[in-house]
Chain A
Amino acid sequence: MAQNEAQHNFRTTSLEKKIVSAIDNGIIILDSDLVIHHYNKWMEIHTHIKEKDALGKKLTELFDTIKEKTLLRKVKTALRMQTPTFYTATTSHYLIPIKTNQIKNSFFSYMQQDVSIVPFDAQNQLVVLILTDQTNMANINALLNAHVAKIKELNEQLMREKELTEMQHKQLLANSRSAAMGEMISMIAHQWRQPLSLITTLLTNIKIKKELQTLDEANMESSLGKIENTVKYLSDTINDFRDYFKPNKVKSDLKLSELFNKSIFFLKDEMNQYNIEYTINIDKQLSIKTYKNELLQSIINIIKNSIDAFKNSDIEDKKIEVSIQEFTYHISIIIEDNAGGIDESILEKIFEPYFSTKNKNGTGLGLYMCKVIIYEHLHGEISITSENNGTKVAIKLPKKI
């Protein structure tokens, strides 16, 4: 019979026979009608079917899950082309249903198989099916895919969160800026109170003199001159403020003594009002290269906080002391007050945005903005400590950025 002939062909040497039974692959020889001509040891073990029971039967008879049409097509193509055709584990999963009971390959309950259909004997129209167990690989693949999906998801989440914090950060900075603007307006109001009342006085005088018909040319001249000067002063302060409150794009050489004079210029009215003594200890020539307006805003914020702290206190000798020291690569600025200090319990929170103990009078953005400016723009450090009923702000800045 053809079947015996094929077996004879196949079992030419005992070496090949040994290899075929020892090999860690399933090996089946089929003819073009899918009838089994050989069934190796591996197949016997994995399918619990003995070769003697398989021989002469159609493969699709033994395993009714096999799609006959597809297998026939692949066998015919292999024979026709005389080159292998395949089933791959990734798309077909398995040809021969073999249950797996492994815990480690938990994704699949059937062994995942790559199957090569190799033309074997053209004359007798025989092909060899070589089955390779790919469950491990498929399992690793499935695991990997699950992980990749998870990573993708996490990544997307991270991106969304990053976007959100970036947005929040921007929003905060915008809020800080408008808070700074608000403070600036209140400072301008302070600055303007005196000159405005001077103008009012001068105008009232002119009116009265005109009523009394005692207004003469010289009178008029001198009053108008004074008004003109005062108006100029008003517009100068506006310009000053405007200049100092827009962020610098370029860094410049900056004399620190001048910077502090400028800050005090904006704040001196209020300091006088509350009887605060201000001293500064600085080398007049000391200068650093940095963003001028950003630093100025931070200094004003800090001194303003000290002034605020004095407002509700009955301390006798109110003092704000500034001292500046130079080191090789950096400078240190210490701003100290004796306005009562900061309670230990809130010290941690004062840099947080919107943290304020001043109810409606505070925005809670001042120190937050100082921190952002000093760390992110000026590449420096800021810390605040409180002891002996006073507050000490320490700033460290590189001499050059």
Chain B
Amino acid sequence: MNNLVLTEDEKDVLQELMNIAYGSATAVVADMLEAFASLSIPNIKIMTTEELFKTFAALKNSSYFFSTQAFSGEFNGESAFFINEESANNLAKHLELESRDDLDDAILELTNVLTSSLTTKLAQEMETEVSFSLPNILKVPLEEIEDVVTFQLYSQVIVIDTDLNFEDQKINGKIFILTKDESISWLKTKLNTILEQLL
């Protein structure tokens, strides 16, 4: 569907909004972890689900923790957070965690923090509200991720992908914000209103 493709202008606006959002997310994450954290400038792409799987596949050469969190509202979708084992272990060390469950919990917290700070800010700028479901760790091996039903609901996804880095901590992760067709068209309308105000 052609009307689901973002124009260059629309992409620019979205990028601007994301830049604002990731700035505040960085601060919150740094606060939570009591360490200096940085997020890379988010990279915005619209891709088909197959392309997304390819992107996921590229991540799977090392073993990963993978968590997701759904958000709802006019702007709705799901976020997917990847963190590799080494980073997860460093995170555990940094937070002085004792068990695997504690580590899972910390990863979920990170997922929640990243998802909500990114999307809340984005929603605010677009004058809407989002609410968040509980995040969960997917215990699915990455090879089988294509079978995960939720992903098959997405024909097209907006992928907002950013790397999380704690330079001295050697912790990095990758978060994808995924939204589907109806949200994409809602987003387009919103982006255009913002665009018109700018002109």
Contacts and interface: CB of A to CB of B under 8 A. Distances in A.
Interface in A106-136: 114, 116
Contacts of A92: 101, 105
B172 interface: no
A73 B112 CA distance: 13
A92 B109 CA distance: 12
Interface string B106-138: 001100110011001000000000001011110
Given A77-B113, A91-B104, A92-B101, A83 B132 contact: yes
A289 to B, nearest CB: 45
Contacts of B28: 77, 80-81
A74 interface: yes
B101 A88 contact: no
Contacts of A88: 105, 108, 134-136
B20 to A, nearest CB: 15
B113 A81 contact: yes
Interface residues of B, number: 20
Contacts of A90: 136-137
B112 A85 contact: yes
Contacts of A83: 116-117, 120, 132
A264 to B, nearest CB: 60
Nearest to B96: A69
Given A80-B28, A81-B28, A81-B117, A86 B101 contact: no
A83 B71 CA distance: 12
Contacts of B120: 81-83
Nearest to B29: A77
A236 B101 CA distance: 80
Interface string B78-106: 00000000000000000010000110110
Interface of B: 28, 31-32, 96, 101-102, 104-105, 108-109, 112-113, 116-117, 120, 132, 134-137
Interface of A: 67, 69-70, 73-74, 76-77, 80-88, 90-93, 114, 116
